[in-house]
Amino acid sequence: MVWETRDGRRQFFPRLGAPVAHLALPADAADGGAGGALVAVASATNAVQVVSLATRRVVHRVAGVRPGPAASAVALAAADELGAAFRTFAAPHAPSGTLAFADLSGGLQFYDAAADREAAALQAVPQGHFLSDFALVAAADGAPGGAYRPDVRLFAVAPGGRHLATLDEFGFHANLRFWAAADAGIDGAAGPRYVEQAVVRRPHAGGRVTALAWHPGGEPLLATVAQDGLLKLWSATDEAAPPKKKPKRRRAWDCLLAADLADAAGDALTAVAWSPCGSVLAVAGRGLVALWDLQRSEELARLRPPAGAAAEKSFHFTRVFFSQAGDVLVAVVTGAAGAVVAWDLRSRRPLAALALRGLRAALLERRSGLLCLAVPRLALQPAAAAPAAPAAAAAPAPPPPPGGTCILTVPVPGAAGAPLAPRQCLWVAEDVADLVPSPSGAAAAGAEAACLANVVLCTPERKLLSVPQAAARSSG
């Protein structure tokens, strides 16, 4: 709103879509220059809009990565607890070369990190439909807050970008939404564009959904797992429109399978992944992984960590990966009791296990076949040894930089059962919340360089770091 100080008249401007954080006028506005007809409005969504006072329209807009749900280091460290909020931090959209993020208003933002610009946005939760059910927003210090908002907690983009799945929550209710790419909306100049096809209310009535995974071949087939111990498969089918409407066909999504794996994976299921050929599903839970044969619709095997491993019984696996050849499976426990376990799928025996206290994020980079890990630097510091007798000419060693994250690469062991041997690649001063595949693949000489060239480091504040940027911040 603009006030005319001479006569008290007010001009009302259209809503800008977010709370206003700051206003700024051009330098010549005080002298009555032409710039006085413009005002820059910074909003709480990390965007700046230039508004013309004469036309009352937005003439220019610059948007950064929108703020999202809190991903503090404390929350990340608690990921090994069943009560932790399983959440998608970011997902690559390869056709457009963008990364998808959930914002605080029930939407998704597709951001082009290479061009540092917003490519597109999708309002996943209808703006006028959440007056009765909301997810409670916690304050910054963890205490309950007084505001309510819709929450897109999980989302996944299908290979090729043809389909998108989102899971939004309103208090005790959850909606699994299926989206299809609009015409020319996969990699067009306007960025990714999707239209909603179907909504499934409470897809897992017995517990919170913890993971989504699309079929790797681009088929319209989605796997979901939840704390109720069920693995569900959802498939797209065409159905006729009601007779009173125009004769056209619409897409519906049906549940093809609901397999109870509670006994196989310790009640709650916490991670799911497809094999490269799309014929086997790995479903993880507390201390073991169940393999499900899609063609036979039956359980194949149960994989357990080796005796004495950190993830043997007490902790839930949060990520599972198949190797590119499909002969090795890797399961990861994030959080304070971090661990990595690998199995040979031909013999179905454990190959190796590795304990990494405080492990925050893991990603199997398929081009290089290396496992990329993000571990807090302090978690890798050796225990203090007993002080030795001081040497006469010994100079004091410089103290290590406080905090930060170590990025490690680990070769996935083959059938021979080589140990999991992590190698430190770089150290970054920021806390890394997640490792996301780069939406635009890059070639590099050497497996380790190829791995890091195709990984984006995401901080809790949603700062995106590529390896050249992270290397500039590294030391030692």
What's the pLDDT at 443?
Answer: 65
pLDDT tens digits, one per residue of 256-280: 999 998 765 557 899 999 999 999 9
- The residue type found at 57 is R
pLDDT tens digits, one per residue of 412-446: 886 556 678 887 778 888 889 899 999 877 666 67
Nearest to 11 by CA among 32, 43, 39: 39
- Secondary structure element (H or E) that encloses residue 471, with its range: helix 467-473
**Torsion, Cα of 260, 264, 266, 267 (10° steps):** 0
Q: Between these two residues, 212 and 414, which has the higher pLDDT value?
A: 212
pLDDT tens digits, one per residue of 281-313: 999 988 889 999 999 999 999 998 887 655 455
- The residue type found at 364 is L
Task: Please say whether the beta carbons of 457 and 470 come within 8 A.
Answer: yes
Q: Which residue is it, tokens 């608690």?
A: 78
Pairing, β 20-24 against β 38-43:
antiparallel
What's the pLDDT at 342?
Answer: 92
Tell me the two tokens of residue 340. 């990595």
Domain ranges, ordered by start, for the chain: 2-63, 367-379+402-476
